Structures are given as structure tokens and as C-alpha cells.
Amino acid sequence: MFDTERWLDEYLIALPVRANARIRQGALVMVSGGYAEEAGPGTGKIALGVAQETVNNTGGADGAKEVLVRRGVFRFENDPADPVGPTELGKDVYATGPNTVAKGSSGRSKAGRALQVDGVYVWVEVW
């Protein structure tokens, strides 16, 4: 028998914020090099959730502040330059900004998995 403890709330995570980063409430949060930042173009980042608060670490060092993020399913804008369509349901989609996702992976990091497309919006599982 294992004495495995359960995390207090597996949907909420406190993450250290990157130096000089500002994370707005509602933004998709990604981690790169161990520190949180708003989602945007670039590869090698890992999406962990959506910011539950605004945190301004401008002028601060790596990890000087923390941001609380929630994991789950969230509605993001569908990038009109590379839109997610019905054929992407259940597939990975990629961040083009803190509240925008696209179909293609070139130069982008995975935001999560598309669960529903509602015209200009995409419901994405960020887990």
C-alpha cells in the first residue's frame, strides 16, 4: 500500500512568474525555463492554465511573484489567419497570443486540445 497524498486542488496551481513579466487575469499562461508568462508565439513553452489574477512582475526577478492559474476547459478566440475548424476537434491547437489559438504548430507552442469550435471561438482543454 502506498501513502500517496492528494494535491489540495488539482485544478489550481501557483506558478513563479518570469522576470519583468506582466500576466493579465484570463490570459493563457505558459511556462518556459521554469517561469510563467502570458502565452504568445514561440516554441518550447508548456501551457498550464488560465490566470486567475493579474500579476505584474515588472522590475522583479524570476520568481519574485507568483500567479494562480486554473486548469480546465476555456474559450479562446479562433485566430482568423490560421483558424481551427471542425477537423481539429480532439486535436492539439497552438497559442498565437494570450487569448488566441490556431490550427498550425509552426513557431508556436501547444495551448491544449480543441473540444468545440463555435465560429470565432474555440473551447480548449488546458491540462
Write down the pLDDT at residue 119: 85
Write down the pLDDT at residue 76: 98
Write down the pLDDT at residue 111: 98
Write down the pLDDT at residue 124: 98
Write down the pLDDT at residue 7: 61
Spell out the residues 6+ positions from residue 72 whose beta carbon is closer than 8 angstroms to its own: 11, 49, 50, 125, 126, 127
Return d(Cα 73, Cα 124) in angstroms, integer.
Answer: 5
Write down the pLDDT at residue 117: 97
The DSSP output letter for 55 is E
pLDDT means per 10 residues, the chain with 127 residues, are 68 96 98 97 97 98 98 97 97 98 97 96 96
Question: Based on the number of CB atoms within 10 Å of its own CB, is 60 exposed (0-12), middle (13-18) or buried (19 or more)?
Answer: middle
